[in-house]
Amino acid sequence: MTNSTPPFCADHVGSLLRPAAVTAARKAFFEEGSISRAELTAIEDAGIVEAVKMQESVGLKVVTDGEIRRSFWHYDFMGGLTGFDLEQRDPEEGAQFHGVKLRPTFPVITGKLDFPADHPMLDHFRFLAKTTSVTPKISIPGPSCCHFRTAKEDIRVPEYADLGALFADLSATYAKAVQAFYDAGCRYLQMDDIFFAYLCDPKHRAQKVAEGIDPDWLITAYARMMQDAIKDRPADMLIGMHMCRGNFRSTWAAEGAYDLAADAIFNQTGVDLFFMEYDSERAGGLEPLRFLAKGKQRVYPGFITTKVPDLEPIDGLKRQIEEAAKYADIDQLGIAPQCGFASTEEGNAITPDEQRAKLELVVQTAQAIWGEA
């Protein structure tokens, strides 16, 4: 009998390419005002139902809603928090990725932070849960994102000039979110806390130093913030954490090995499952996996890329897992892509068929190595 409850050997980070009908409907609603919110929701619902069917059909035991209702992997969630707003600015101000700028949406903190009982992503999860017979998972940005992605001048609450006060309120806000998702039926919550990886990049480290923040202190503070947010979660709730170096239209924003953050990641956050980008030399070596403690935690090295359509050979993936097993018990390893397929609604430079083939490869690789997905 194969395992029917997470963690599984095969998994994925969460976001999926947006269906053409959803893209058109979002433009019609947000830009043209030619359809109603109810019409948009119905089209998004249909897109999510098809996305779930696709994930189930390739053999995945855990599915997401593909983040199909979102524009960004992070800002939609953050904008729904009490005390956060999103501002649109000059296109030249957009965050810089490798050769391209992100759309100029910026989070600003305008009031005391809290998690509202009517946060829209609770209903997003409830809809997902009723569409699938396997494990539903929702991914949200981790608490570090709310600090790292908010410029100092955009933190407009005087008491939050003290990072200790800001981080304490972020932990409390996320603790409420964890409980709210649990109460909605969620037993597997993923937080995308990618800035642990960013803080291993010399360029991003230098930027923090220029802001007067020690990047090593910040790594430890982010780990403590995550631990405080999830420490009181119910015993039957798994928390995953995804780390990458940026993913916008198949480009990236950071580089550098995990060495500087590995101990904090594995031993100071309290997280159960780790999704780690490992699809290019920018991620460094596998040696940081040695910090994973023996036990029930699991690492999903992202050897399968979502940035390009080429399929990785299964024999090559087997060898990479064997190499990873030199540093972590193979029974504490799994396989997943390095990131989602559409961290923003623009999506990566691949097709839906190529996306499906990547997910099929994840399942096939898990079956070849562990005998089950």
Domain ranges of the chain: 20-370
Burial class (CB in 10 A: 0-12, 13-18, 19+), 36: exposed
Low-confidence ranges of the chain (pLDDT < 70): 1-2, 90-103, 246-253
Q: How far apart are CA 21 and CA 337, in angstroms?
A: 25
Specify the pLDDT at position 256: 82
Residue 231 in tokens: 């420490």
Specify the pLDDT at position 253: 61
Q: How far apart are CA 219 and CA 265, in angstroms?
A: 9
Q: Which residues pair with 104 in a beta bridge?
A: none
pLDDT digits (tens, 9 = 90+) for 193-223: 989 999 999 999 999 999 999 999 999 999 9
Specify the pLDDT at position 234: 97
- Angle (nearest 5°) at CA 18 between 53 and 105: 140
Give the chain's mean pLDDT. 93
Q: What is the CA radius of gyration of the chain?
A: 19
Residue 149: Cβ within 10 Å count: 18
Q: How far apart are CA 23 and CA 21, in angstroms?
A: 5
Specify the pLDDT at position 244: 85
Residue 162: Cβ within 10 Å count: 10
**Minimal CA–CA distance to 75: which of 97, 94, 56?**
94
Asked if 115 contacts 167 with a C-beta cutoff of 8 angstroms, the reply is no
Specify the pLDDT at position 91: 64
For the segment(s) 20-370, the CATH number from 3.90.550.10, 3.40.50.1000, 3.20.20.210, 3.40.50.970 is 3.20.20.210
- Note the pTM of the prediction, 2 decimals: 0.93
Specify the pLDDT at position 72: 92
